[in-house]
Amino acid sequence: MRFMLLMMPGGYGEAAPGTMPDAAAVGEMMKYNEALGKAGVLLALDGLHPPSMGARVSFAGGKAAITDGPFSEAKEIIGGYWMIQVRSRDEALEWAARCPAGEHDTIEVRQVQEFSDFPPDVQSAAGSLPDLLARTGEHPTRE
């Protein structure tokens, strides 16, 4: 089972463009990342620049509209993620709980929808997805 752990750092929504994490915090996080790697569960990870450097594309009325960050209405901001492959939801939660996150940080744990999870009509509509993902290095049927 694949799970995405979404890091939502407290206060990141107000971070100025170019804000970088503290070196000591990165050092602690690297120990966690290395533990995920040594356990063989880490598939991918990345940190994200603050929302002040981002943009949103919305589709009201069927037309794309671009809004540059920061986003004042945002309550929770994603600062990075880990993609892990584990045996169960409980194992994913155990890994999330081990993260050296700060007092005001939150990690949301979400299971990835595997191609095999979808009913036949949805699999048919997305019929070329497994081939597309295989070409990009993804594996839609890992479990």
Q: Is the pLDDT of residue 40 over 90?
A: yes
The CATH number that applies at residue 83 is 3.30.70.1060
State the pLDDT confidence band at 117, using cuts at 50, 70 and 90.
confident
Same domain, 120 and 143: yes
Q: Is the pLDDT of residue 115 over 60?
A: yes
Domain ranges, residue 142: 114-143
> What is the per-residue DSSP string for 30-79?
HHHHHHHHHTT-EEEEEE---GGG-EEEE-GGG--EEEESP-TT-SS---
The pLDDT of 112-134, averaged and rounded, is 82
- Give the pLDDT confidence score for residue 138 in this predicted structure: 61
Q: Are residues 107 and 118 in the same domain?
A: no
Domain count along the chain: 2
One domain for residues 68 and 119: no
Same domain, 104 and 125: no
Digit-coded pLDDT (tens) for 61-98: 999 999 998 887 777 889 999 999 999 999 999 999 99
Statement to judge: residues 106 and 123 lie in one domain: no
